Amino acid sequence: MRAMIIPRFGGPEVFEECEVDKPTPGAGQLLVRVIASGTNPVDAKLRANGTWANLEPPVILGSDASGVVEQVGAGVTEFKLGDEVFYTAEIFGNPHGTYAEYNVVDASIVAPKPGKISYLEAAAVPLAGGTAWEAIVARLQVRPGETVLIHGGAGGVGSFAIQLAKIAGARVLVTAGPANQTTLSELGVDVPIDYKNDDPIQIALEETNGVGVDAVFDTVGGDLISRSLEATRPFGRLAHILSVEGSLTSAYMKNLTLHGIFLTRERPRLEKLGHLLERDQLKPLVDAVLPLAQVQQAHERLDSGHGRGKVVLKI
């Protein structure tokens, strides 16, 4: 089968197109013919140096996939040949990712692809959509009438987080750069914030009459969580998906709850996202579609840190 491998860790230029053996599913697994693969920031981190995830080159990267069940392993009863599926693969110790024509995956973390969306759209959902769900729905438990501040709303995770917060009935304040302000408006953001020219902490305080927002979700990292403590009301909640810098001392004085999120793989979360996708309540923001051989370009964009939505690879 055709696959894009990295023979060593490094920059986007390390990818090589190769012919490798088609994998065989074991007990409890599926062989999926991959039609599309989403690209994610974690893919770029693994490419640069994946030793933290117990990877050693050569490696086939790629977390997200949509495709068709090609072969069913022993003991799998919930899927059959020809089923349309989508999922995000495990990354720890898994050198056989989704930047390839075929992928073997545990059936327990695979879900039926929503019929309302294309394979390209489905491949943009699992990791980013799942992370947003875990933050907005599962951890922060955003409720109707609340005010939420989201840092980094134009990216894959942020764009899903905006939509989920709106579905929950919240008023949403969201940051993005000048080039992505229109994107925020299109996503239904109540208060778009240009972080290049305005202070999101000050705006959050002004928009809540000094009380602070009910919840904060940071997809950017750095000192944004520590800075956001000032703009969070007492007994409020915060969630982050990247490392935190700065002092968190004031968090305990305000009785704040801080959630660190690293996505676990599971089917039920994907099924819930699937229901929203089927009802047209949720829409993946696919900004570009590239052929598999152009994965270097996708990773150059990932490294820039200023993308809009998702880049999907057409296998």
How far is it, in rounded angstroms, from Cα 253 to Cα 71? 55
At residue 197, the pLDDT reads 96
Number of alpha carbons in the 13 Å side-chain half-sphere of residue 56: 0
* Other beta carbons within 10 Å of 218: 26
Question: What residue ranges define each of the domains in the chain, with the CATH number in brackets?
Answer: 2-125+284-314 (3.90.180.10), 128-260 (3.40.50.720)
How wide is the angle at C-alpha 269 spanned by C-alphas 229 and 240, nearest 5°? 20
Using 50 as the pLDDT threshold, list the residues of the chain that sit under it.
none
Q: What single string gives the DSSP state of each residue in 190-214?
A: SEEEETTTS-HHHHHHHHTTTS-EE
Asked if 67 and 98 touch (Cβ cutoff 8 Å), the reply is no
The 8-class DSSP code of residue 315 comes to -
Q: Nearest 10 degrees: CA dihedral of 279, 149, 44, 268?
A: -40
The tokens for 279 are: 């009802």
Peptide bond into 58 cis (omega under 30): yes
The tokens for 240 are: 């982050």
How far is it, in rounded angstroms, from Cα 151 to Cα 149? 7
111 three-class SS: strand
Catalogue the long-range contacts made by 42-47 (C-beta closer than 8 Å, 24 or more residues apart).
Answer: 42/91, 42/127, 43/97, 43/299, 43/302, 44/12, 44/299, 44/302, 44/303, 46/91, 47/6, 47/9, 47/10, 47/11, 47/12, 47/14, 47/299
How far is it, in rounded angstroms, from Cα 79 to Cα 174? 39
- Alpha-carbon 90 to chain mean position: 14
pTM for this prediction: 0.96
Closest Cα partner for 98 from 67, 63, 57?
Answer: 63
- Alpha-carbon 75 to chain mean position: 30
